[in-house]
Amino acid sequence: MNASTASDFVLLIVRSSIGITIAAHGWNKIFGGGKIKGTGRWFQSIGMKPGVFHAWIAALSEIFCGLLLSLGFLTSFAAAGIIGIMVVAGWTVHRNNGFFIIKEGWEYIFILSIAALTIATLGPGEWSIDHVLGISDDLMSWTGFWIAGGLGIGAGLLQLLLFFRPEK
């Protein structure tokens, strides 16, 4: 296996692992445990109001962005969606718990965000829909970095500004 093929293979593994993990979180919000109504009650309790609306937004965003990232389709925008989701999760759930995930800290969401940003910057590799469509070079490098980081952080902050209303 040459270096280029190895890089494409590893990018496929990382994209798919991160994407499927994110999509599974979205799927679980809809079909797991308390289903979407239970997820909505939880969102309401952490200050994302209206809760059911945000449960649907989070679940569908996680499924959609996770699958796009896995496929390497509109990769930088998929990464932006994941980063935006993680910004909201970080602020609403994890920020006061320290770094380590074992204490519900922000370790996990930080790593997912950095992985998404890295994939957007490096590009999805040749084994991606972006490459097949001939758009991967246009959406990677600094362009990918700024799309994923800027749009992701901006969208997350905007959602918090508009909808985060925790109880006093």
Quick: pLDDT tens for 133-146.
999 999 999 999 99
Among residues 87, 79, 81, the alpha carbon closest in space to that of 163 is found at 87
Q: What is the mean pLDDT of the chain?
A: 96
Cα of 34 vs its chain's centroid, Å: 22
Quick: pLDDT tens for 111-123.
999 999 999 999 9
d(CA 79, CA 127): 17
For the chain, domain boundaries: 3-163
Q: What is the pLDDT of residue 3?
A: 77
What's the pTM value of the predicted model, to 2 decimals?
Answer: 0.95
Q: What is the mean pLDDT of residues 45-64?
A: 97
Q: What is the pLDDT of residue 26?
A: 98
